[in-house]
Structure 1
Amino acid sequence: MAIITLTTDFGLKDHFVGAIKGTIYTELEDVKIVDISHSISPFNIQECAYLLKNSYKAFPEGTVHVVGIDSEPSPENKHIAVLVDGHYFISANNGVIGLITSEVKPDKVMEIDIPNPIQGSFPVLDVFVKVACHIARGGTLEVIGKPFAQLKELKEFAPRVSDNGKTITGSVVYIDNYGNVVTNIQKSLFEAYRNGRKFELSARNKKIGEIYNKYSDIINFDLEKSRRKGPGDLLALFNSSNYIELAIYKSDLNTVGGASTLLGLDYRDTITINFI
């Protein structure tokens, strides 16, 4: 059974997601539709790329991923279909795919050029769904487009290394359901420049000198409970996607707040690591 995933900033209040699913099922009765997320912040390319990059590999090869964010076509925002790592992505050339393929070279990148496209305000439905259903039926990319060589890369979203490798400057790319703050600094980059040195991670007025591998590592179970760190304390860890994340242990964003609110951090705010 073919699988089509949907990742959009449409939310669930309006008719958009329902119309997309209904159209897919009208075209293909025997298909599985999976929602990755419809709660991407509007037009947030980095957030969309982070969620897709860390979820698509969980699906079997051949899965078709429809990316509905900033999808209106323009001379600078062409519609593309990409085969990478055994997966198909259908998107506008707005930087999302460039961020996903920053470490994996695409096998094919095609500019979508289907006959008689509808020039409307809902290209995810009018164009992307047609292409997704074509691929899900076993169709090739060559039928729906022509080779494309200008895949957009957003260099400003990459962390910067300076001072002869002594400083890494990153930024917030995602805030999760718990209010945890995910940075764009990956464990591999951190370890490549650490060279066994101590370090100081700075976020706003907070400084951290240790990064854990899981949330509960903040607790020293050899100490009496009254002397331990625990719920409400700030920590940094390498999350399940191997990005540096800041969290308040067992905090609730809806009550006392999470790392994002308690530290005053938002999307694209700066996080700095200085090696000592």
Structure 2
Amino acid sequence: MAIITLTTDFGLKDHFVGALKGAIYKELADARIVDISHNVSPFNIQECAYILKNSYQSFPKGTIHIVGVDSEATPEIKHIVVLIDGHYFITADNGVIGLIISEIKPQKVFEINLPNTENGPFPVLDVFVKVACHIVRGGTLEVVGKSLDTLKDLRDFSPRIADDGKKIIGSIIYIDNYGNVVTNIQKSLFEAYRKGRSFELHARTSLITKILNNYSEIVNYELDRNRRKGAGDLLALFNSSGYIELAIYKSNLKTVGGASTLLGLDYRDTVTINFL
């Protein structure tokens, strides 16, 4: 049986996640459900996309991903189900899919139009669960609605190139559990414009001139301990998802703070790279 994943901004205090799982089990008693995250910041499409983009490929083909972030339908936002790279995504057409699949063409896109379904305040339960269970049973997408040709695109989240390729202007798209700050500048873009040049990365008042490949690379083990950089020092690295990330080495967001709090960086703040 196909896996159903859940990614929402519902949190765990309220009844919403439990109700979703109960509704799925009510229709599919032997369902396989995996929680990706329920702690996406409320209505934060970019954060949701970052989490899904870096997790969905770890699941087998045929997995069904329910995306419950900013999920209400409006005259401008449809409910959709998309088949991408062998995976099904059930979501609102609010831009999240375009951010997840930026370089992959969808195999199928359908607007959801289920009969006898009201446009209520809990569409993830009333609509998305029904579509997911339909797919698990072997149902086709053609049954749930009509085919679409386009998806909403959020281009304002892409880095900008300025000064004839001498500058990349990016922004913060994600802050993780450690307070590490992830930018929307990917390694491939950075290297394409760097062309062997030195550079300066500016984030508020911080200046960085080197990007590492892992966290512990900041430590020069050939130096005496009292001369090394280490815990509490700022670094930049290409993270496991291929994005430039700013971090405080071995920090704790809940005690001494992380890069987000210590550098005063928040979602959508600007990070600039100047090539010299």
- By how many angstroms is 1:159 displaced? 0.4
User: For the Cα contact (< 8 Å) 1:2–1:30, is it kept in 2?
Assistant: no
* 1:48 partner SS: helix
- By how many angstroms is 1:101 displaced? 1.7
Tell me the residue number matched to 2:270: 270
* 2:231 partner SS: coil
Distance in 2, Cα, partners of 1:156 & 1:38: 25
1:192-239 deviations in Å (ceiling 9; x for gaps): 111111110000011000000100000011111110000000000001
Q: Percent identity?
A: 74
Distance in 1, Cα, partners of 2:139 & 2:100: 23
1:73-130 deviations in Å (ceiling 9; x for gaps): 1111100000001100000000101111211110111000111112210000000000
Distance in 1, Cα, partners of 2:156 & 2:38: 25
Question: Where do 5+ consecutive residues of structure 1 fail to align?
Answer: none
Tell me the residue number matched to 1:83: 83
Distance in 1, Cα, partners of 2:44 & 2:178: 19
User: For the Cα contact (< 8 Å) 1:200–1:275, is it kept in 2?
Assistant: yes
Distance in 2, Cα, partners of 1:101 & 1:109: 13
Paired letter, 2:29:
E
Q: CA RMSD in A?
A: 0.7
Q: TM-score, normalised by structure 1?
A: 0.99
Q: Which runs of 4+ in 1 moved over 6 A?
A: none
Superposition map of 1:1-276 within 5 A = 1-276=1-276
Distance in 2, Cα, partners of 1:61 & 1:192: 32
Q: How many residues align?
A: 276
Paired letter, 2:117:
P
Q: TM-score, normalised by structure 2?
A: 0.99
* 2:43 partner SS: coil
* 1:35 partner SS: strand
1:2-52 deviations in Å (ceiling 9; x for gaps): 100000000000000000000001111122100000000000000000000
Question: Where do 5+ consecutive residues of structure 2 fail to align?
Answer: none
Distance in 2, Cα, partners of 1:196 & 1:251: 31
- By how many angstroms is 1:165 displaced? 0.8
Distance in 2, Cα, partners of 1:184 & 1:209: 18
